[in-house]
Amino acid sequence: MILIVAEYAGGKLAKSTLEMVTAARESGREGPVTVLVLGQGTAEIANAAAAVADQVLVADLPALATYNAELWAAAAAQIAQEGEAHTVIIGGSRSGREYAPRVAVKLDAPYLEDAIHLASTGTALQAQRYTYLARVTETVEAEGPVVVVSVKPGAFAPAAPLAAAGEQYDVELDLPAARVEVTGRSVEKTSRVALTEADVIVTGGRGVGNPENFSLYVEGLADRLGAGVGATRAVVDAGWRPYAEQVGQTGKTVQPKAYVALGVSGAVQHLSGMGKSRYIVAINKDAEAPIFKVADYGIVGDVNQIVPALIEAARK
């Protein structure tokens, strides 16, 4: 079987889980597509997963109420072993890429990380992935009785519901004690679309000028377009915006249909996080800014003039 560990947020199945189901079906690996739901109070999530999967395994336990790398790894590895999974698929979120390697080591399995494409060739599973700050696309392959894969968010189309919902089963787990104690949490909440789920992203760089302009221009335009808000590291380091909005090597990787960069220079570390966007729009007053090299549509101009006009025009 192919085992997928569900990702969810705010009590809802995440789009990434639907993407993992597509990855499983496109991988050429055989057997039922099984989704494992780890957590507490997950009935709604399990139901949503059942709509796209052949079967759903539910571990609804107080110990799993909050994500913990060691517990998630133990749970996924146990179920993979008991269910004789030959493929384990985990989300390429920050947490997914944090516990997936532990699952691989537990199962003595190879690990294909952050895959954007999967295919079977003979006995091997092949994956495409980006390397060298996303400047290179590598094809890697591994074989074994079981292979662990993490899947890059946004790389696969979300799976559509099946005609009949998959069966749900409760599973037992033997979990270790959590050793990392969380003493505080700060959730960077935004009323906007999550960056990794957004079709359109408006990102502001240092060229936007100051935090007030960022609200006015970047948030203003994002609201008009129903878009997510991104920021460069320069802006985050300056304290204008939370780290959760940072796009790039050390921030989030995004792949929206349209990425609108306002006052962003286009440094390689930033490009590595957004360079795969379908369409890139750049507004920058410097015609030589590197961002224009990767732009589909570019306007050389001052954000103070162009963006208010854009917000105004988008109103129509």
Partner 1 sequence: MKILTLVRQVPDAEARVKINAGSVDLEGTTLVIDGMDEYGVEEALRLREGGGGVEEIVALAVGPKRVEDALRTALAMGVDRAIHIETGELLDPIALSRIVAQVAQAEGAGLILVGGQEADWDSQALGAATAERLGWPQLTWTNELQLEGDRLTGRHDVDDGNESFRASLPAVVTTQQGLNEPRYPTLPNIMKAKRKELRKDDLATYGVQPTVRVVNAEIQTRARLNRMIDGKDPQAAAEQLLDLLRNEAKVLA
Residues 6-25 that bind partner 1 (CB under 8 A): 9
Interface with partner 1, residue 97, by CB under 8 A: yes
Looking at the Cβ atoms of 55 and 246, the one nearer to partner 1 is 246
Place of tokens 């100051």: 210
Strand partners, 247: 252
Q: Which stretch binds partner 1 (CB under 8 A): 41-49, 53-61, 159-167, 305-313?
A: 305-313
Task: Tell me the torsion sign for CA atoms 95, 98, 102, 104.
Answer: positive
Interaction with partner 1 in 118-137: which residues (CB under 8 A)?
A: 126, 129-137
Among the residue ranges 54-62, 93-101, 156-164, 167-175, the one whose residues contact partner 1 (CB under 8 A)? 93-101
Contact pick of 39, 220, 248, 256 for ligand FAD (by CB under 6 A): 248
Q: Between 47 and 190, name the residue whose CB sits nearer to ligand FAD.
A: 190
Helical (H) or strand (E) element with 33: strand 33-39
Q: Which is nearer to ligand FAD, 37 or 291 (CB)?
A: 291
CB of 241 vs ligand FAD, minimal distance in Å: 11
Q: Which of 218, 184, 129, 166 is nearest to 54 (CA)?
A: 166
Residue among 49 and 252 whose Cβ is closer to partner 1: 252
Size of the site for ligand FAD (CB under 6 A): 27
Interface pick for partner 1 out of 122, 185, 191, 288 (rule CB under 8 A): 185
17-50 b/e (C-beta count within 10 Å ≥ 16 → b): bbbbbbbbeebebeeebbbbbbbeebeebbebbb
Q: Rounded to whole angstroms, how far apart are CA atoms 58 and 44?
A: 11
Rounded Cα distance between 197 and 100, Å, is 21
89 is a site residue for ligand FAD (CB under 6 A): no
